[in-house]
A and B are shown apart, each in its own frame.
Chain A
Amino acid sequence: MKPPLPPSYLSLYRGPAILLVLVAVLPLCARGHFSYLLSLAQLCGIYAIIVTGLTLLLGYTGQVSLGHAGFYGLGAYAAAILATVCHLPVWLAILLALTATGVCMFVAGVSLLRLKGHYLALATLCTGIIIYEVITKMEITGGAAGLYDLPEIALLGQGPLAKTYLIWAVVILVLLWAVHLTESPYGRALRAIDGDEDAAAAMGVRVFPLKLTIFIVSGVLAALAGILYAFVYSPSYLGPEEFSIMHSVSFLIMVVIGGMGSVWGGLAGAVVLTGLHELLNLLGERLHSTDMAKYEHLVFGALLIVILVFSRDGMMPGLRRSLLRLAGKGMRRA
C-alpha cells in the first residue's frame, strides 16, 4: 500500500493567511466606535501572543503556570525601565528584557520541570505574586502610580489603526511559528509527552529538554507581549494593574476556552474572553453597578469550572464533539 504523502506544508499557511485578510479588513470596517474597538483589538492581540505560549505549555506538555502575568509584566517593566531610566535605545532594551526573561525561565525550569506539576504551579504562582508586589512597591517602577511617557514604537505609522496592524502582524508571525512547530515531528513529540511521558521517553523522545524549551518559549512570548503593551498599546502610561494574579488566571481561562490542544483555539479563547470582559464592563455601566469587577470574577471562575466539567480538554473541542454527536456522526476522529 502506498503511503500517503505528508500534508503539504502549504496548508499550514492557510490559517494565518485567512487571519491576515481578516486583520487587514476588519479594522477598516469599525466605523463610529473606531478608536475604542481598535484599542480592544490591540489588547486582544497582545493576549493572543501570551495565550499561544501558554497553550503550548499547558496543552502540549501538560505543565501549569499560574504566574504568566508575572512574565508579561517582567517583559513590560524591564524593557520600560531600561529604555527610560537607563536611557538605552529601545531595540536594546527590548533585546535585554527578552533575554533576561529567557534566562529566568531557564533557571526556574531546570529545577522545577523535573518534578510533579504542583511544584511548578506553586512556584509560578509565587513568582507571579512576587513580580506583581515588586512592581507595585518599588520606586524605580513607579510603584502603584506607574511609569509615564515611554518611547513609542510606531513601525507602521502613527495612530490606532497602524498600531493595531503592528500588533496583529506580530500575532500572525507568532501563530505562524506555533503552527509550524506543532505540525512537525517536534509537535508530535510534544503530544507524545502529553499522552504518556514515560512511554514517550522509552521511544527516544527527549522529554526534559522539550519541556524546558517550551517553558522558556512561553515565558519569552509573554515578555514580548508585555513589551508590545508597554511600547505600542499604551506608551503614555504603564501601570501594575495589568499584571495581577487575576490576569494570570484569565490567560488560563483563555487557553481552557480554546481547547488546550490547539493554538487557534487559544486565539479564539483570547477573543472570546476579551469580548466577554468588555461586555460585562458595558453591562456594568448600563446598570450603574460598582460591583461589576466582582461579578466578572465570579463569572470567570464559574466559567473555568463549568467548561472543564463539561469537557476535560477545553470548550472548543467539547463543543465540536457535541455538535458532531448532534449531527449523528459519532465521536470517531479520522
Chain B
Amino acid sequence: MQHVAGQLLVNGLILGSIYALISLGFNVIYRTTGVINFAQGEFVMLGGVATGWAYHSLSLSIPWAILIGMAVATCAGVLVDLLAIRPLRAASPVILVIITIGASIVLQAAAALIWGTQPYNLPVVREGSLPFAQVNISYQSLLIVAVVTVCIVLLSLFFRCTTLGMAMKACAENRDAARLCGVHTGRISTLTFALSALLGGIGGILVTPLLSMSFDNGTMLGLKGFAAAILGGIGNPVGGVVGGLLMGVLEQYATWFSSVYKDTLALAVVVIILLLRPRGLLTK
C-alpha cells in the first residue's frame, strides 16, 4: 500500500540531496572567492551529458564514462575561472554576476553544439527498490544519498584538516592577508572552481539515471541549488544542505497541486521567502 505523502517526502529528500550538493558548490565558491557563480548549474549538466555521451556514443563502460563526465565538468570549471573570473579580480560583484551568466550561456550553447539537444540517459545502479514503511526507495536513490553524504563528509574534512582546505578558508576570510602569508590566491581560485565544478558534475551524474539530462536542464538545476543556498543563508554550507532538502521536498509536494506548474510554484516560494526573509530561513 503506497503512502503518497510519504513517497513524495522520500522523493523530495532524494532530489533535495542533489540540490544540496549543488548548493555546496555555490557555497564553496562564494566563501572562498566571494563570487556568486551563476554557471553552477551548467557544471551539473555537463557532468550528466558528458557521461551519457561517453556511455552511449563512445560505448565506454560506466566507470570510464563517469570519469569522463567528471573530467569534463572539472575542466569547464577551470576554464570559467581562468577566462572569466580571474581577469576580473577586482571588479564589483555586479560585474561578476553578469560574467558568470555569460559563462553559463556559453557553456549551455557549447554543450548543445557538441553533444546535441537530445536528452541523455544513464542506467540506474541496480533495478528495483527497497520497500520501507509504506514507501519505495529505489537503489539509485540510496546511491545518491550515500554519495552526497560522503561528499559532504569529505568536504568538511578537507576544509578542516588539509593545508589546502585551510588555505581556501583563509582566502575566504581575507584575501590580502592570505596572500601575505604566501597563499597563492590565483591558484586557490582555480582550485575552488575545479572543486565546485566536480561537485556539480557528480550531482549531474547521480541524477541523470533518474531524470535524464539535456543541454538546457542546467539552468533550472543551478537556480534551485542557488535558491537552496540562499534559503539556508548564503555562505552557510550546512544551511545550504538543509535548504537543498527543503527545495526538493517543496518541489515534490508542488506536484501534488499541479505537475505542470511544479517548477513555477517552487520558484514562487523562493521569491516569497526572499521578499519576507531574505537572510535565509536558518539565520537569526
Smallest Cβ distance from B68 to chain A, in angstroms? 22
In the bound complex, residues from chain A placing their C-beta under 8 Å from that of B267 are 126, 129-130
* B102 engages A305 (CB within 8 Å): yes
Q: Give 1 or 0 for each of A88-120: 1 = CB within 8 Å of chain B CB.
A: 000000000000000000011001100111110
How far does the alpha carbon of A130 sit from the alpha carbon of B263 in the complex, in Å?
Answer: 8
Given known pairs A112-B274, A122-B274, A123-B274, the reply for A130 and B264 (CB within 8 Å) is yes
Main DSSP-derived SS at the A contact region: helix
Q: Contact check, A297 vs B105: say whether CB atoms are below 8 A apart.
A: yes
Interface size on B, residues (CB 8 A): 43
Q: How far is the CA of A305 from the CA of B263 in the complex (A)?
A: 29
Does A63 interact with chain B (Cβ within 8 Å)? yes
A309: contacting residue among B88, B271, B275, CB under 8 A? B88
**Contact flag A121-B36 (CB < 8 Å), given A108-B275, A111-B276, A245-B219:** yes
Residues in B neighbouring A256, C-beta threshold 8 A: 98
Chain B nearest CB, measured from A54 CB (Å): 12
Tell whether, in the assembled complex, residue B106 and residue A298 are in contact, meaning their CB atoms are under 8 Å apart.
yes
Q: In the bound complex, how far is the Cα of B69 from the Cα of A129, in angstroms?
A: 29
> Are the C-beta atoms of A64 and B97 separated by less than 8 Å?
yes
- Assess whether A312 is interfacial by the CB under 8 Å rule: yes
Q: Given A119-B230, A133-B261, A309-B88, verify A304-B110 contact (CB < 8 Å).
A: no
Q: Which residue of A lies closest to B110 (CB)?
A: A298
**Please, what's the 1-or-0 string for A245-280, where 1 marks a CB less than 8 Å from any CB in chain B?**
110010010001000000000000000000000000
Q: Are B278 and A312 in contact (CB under 8 A)?
A: no
| Given contact pairs A58-B94, A64-B98, A308-B88, A301 touches B223 in the complex (Cβ within 8 A) | no
Q: Is B170 an interface residue (CB 8 A)?
A: no
Q: Are B104 and A301 in contact (CB under 8 A)?
A: yes
Interface residues of A in 287-317 (CB under 8 A from B): 291, 294-295, 297-298, 300-305, 308-309, 312
Question: Considering only CB atoms, which chain B residue lies closest to A297 in the complex?
Answer: B109
Closest Cβ–Cβ distance, residue A319 to chain B (whole Å): 17
Minimum CB distance partner of A309 in chain B = B87
How far apart are the CA atoms of A99 and B104 in the complex, in Å?
34
Q: How far is the CA of A133 from the CA of B268 in the complex (A)?
A: 11
- The docked-state distance in angstroms from the alpha carbon of A308 to that of B105 is 15
The answer to whether A127 touches B36, judged by C-beta atoms less than 8 angstroms apart, is no
Closest to B90 in A: A312
A304/B94 in contact, CB under 8 A: no
What is the minimal beta-carbon distance from B26 to any residue of chain A, in angstroms? 10
Query: For B219, what are the chain A residues with a Cβ–Cβ distance below 8 Å?
Result: 245
Known: A111-B276, A112-B275, A115-B278. A130 touches B88 (CB 8 A): no
Contact partner of B113 (CB less than 8 A), chosen from A123, A137, A298, A312, is A298
Asked if residues B264 and A304 are in contact (CB atoms below 8 Å), the reply is no
Query: Which A residues touch B108, using CB under 8 A?
Result: 297, 301
- Chain B residues with CB under 8 Å of A75's CB are none
Report yes or no: A308 in contact with B99, Cβ–Cβ below 8 A: yes
A64 touches B278 (CB 8 A): no
User: In the bound complex, what is the Cα–Cα distance between A246 and B99 (angstroms)?
Assistant: 15
User: Is A166's CB within 8 Å of the partner chain B?
Assistant: no
A-B contact pairs, 16 of them (CB 8 A): A66-B101, A107-B275, A112-B275, A122-B227, A129-B264, A133-B263, A134-B264, A291-B113, A294-B113, A298-B113, A301-B101, A301-B109, A302-B106, A303-B102, A304-B98, A305-B99
Not counting A64-B97, A112-B278, A117-B97, a sample of 19 additional A-B residue pairs whose C-beta atoms are within 8 angstroms of each other reads A111-B276, A118-B93, A119-B230, A119-B274, A122-B223, A122-B226, A122-B227, A123-B274, A126-B267, A130-B264, A137-B261, A252-B98, A294-B112, A297-B108, A298-B110, A301-B105, A301-B106, A308-B98, A309-B99
Q: Which residue numbers of B lie inside 8 Å of A, CB to CB?
A: 36, 38, 83-84, 87-88, 91-95, 97-99, 101-106, 108-110, 112-113, 219, 223, 226-227, 230, 234, 260-261, 263-264, 267-268, 270-271, 274-276, 278
Q: Which 4 A-B pairs have the closest CB atoms?
A: A301-B105, A304-B102, A301-B106, A298-B109
